[in-house]
Amino acid sequence: MNNIKIGVLALQGAIREHTQHIEALGATGVAVKWPRDLSEVAGLIIPGGESTTIGKLMVEYGFTEAIRDFNAAGKPIYGTCAGMILLAKKITEGNQPLLSLMNIEARRNAFGRQRESFEADLDIKDIGLFKAIFIRAPWIETVGESVETMAEFGNIKVMARQGSLLASAFHPELTGDLRVHKYFLDMIKEA
């Protein structure tokens, strides 16, 4: 398994934490700092952070088309929190750069400000009960065709999959639980 390399977009966010989870599963984590680094990896994680900032940096460094091409080649992408927003085809407010790959509409900071951050037990499809950490989290306002909702908080969609795309509003990298990252690793193996 250690021959599988998984990239973590290294523009902002919990790069080290995602890399630690990847390596705890026996794969190799690679900090993706330039579009050319995508050629080295079999899958990509877009971490949380500030989605507007990450979007602008993706445009500035030439990542937008490179990541779209990466996905078009069938390589899986997982977006957490801000990464979920960037994967979305549409957001409910604002006008920031998006990858527009996943057939979802996301709402930024949907649960409120930093002080409204929280933990919750989610029942995730194919994973089971998971203690999720939400920090200034978005949610999925609507899902479109071919998108499968994987977890909800109440009636709010907080995790979804569309083919080789995976998105969560929460931060699995901030827990000691490796199962969401293992699910993504399994997606990469299947691809």
Q: Are 158 and 170 in contact (CB under 8 A)?
A: yes
Look up residue 94 and give its amino acid.
G
Reported pTM: 0.95
Per-residue pLDDT 10s for the chain (191 aa) are 448 999 999 998 889 999 999 999 999 999 999 999 999 999 999 999 889 999 999 999 999 999 999 999 999 999 999 999 999 999 998 889 999 999 999 988 777 666 667 899 999 999 999 999 998 889 999 999 999 999 999 999 999 999 999 999 999 999 999 999 999 999 999 99
Domain positions in the chain are 5-190
Residues catalogued as catalytic: 81, 171, 173
Q: Are 28 and 7 in contact (CB under 8 A)?
A: no
* The pLDDT value given to residue 114: 61
β-pairing verdict for 28-32 and 5-9: parallel
User: In angstroms, rounded to a whole number, what is the distance separating the alpha carbons of residues 137 and 85?
Assistant: 10
Beta bridge partners of 79: 46, 167
Q: What is the CATH number of domain 5-190?
A: 3.40.50.880
* The pLDDT value given to residue 116: 66
Would you tell me how many other CB atoms lie within 10 Å of the CB of residue 169?
31
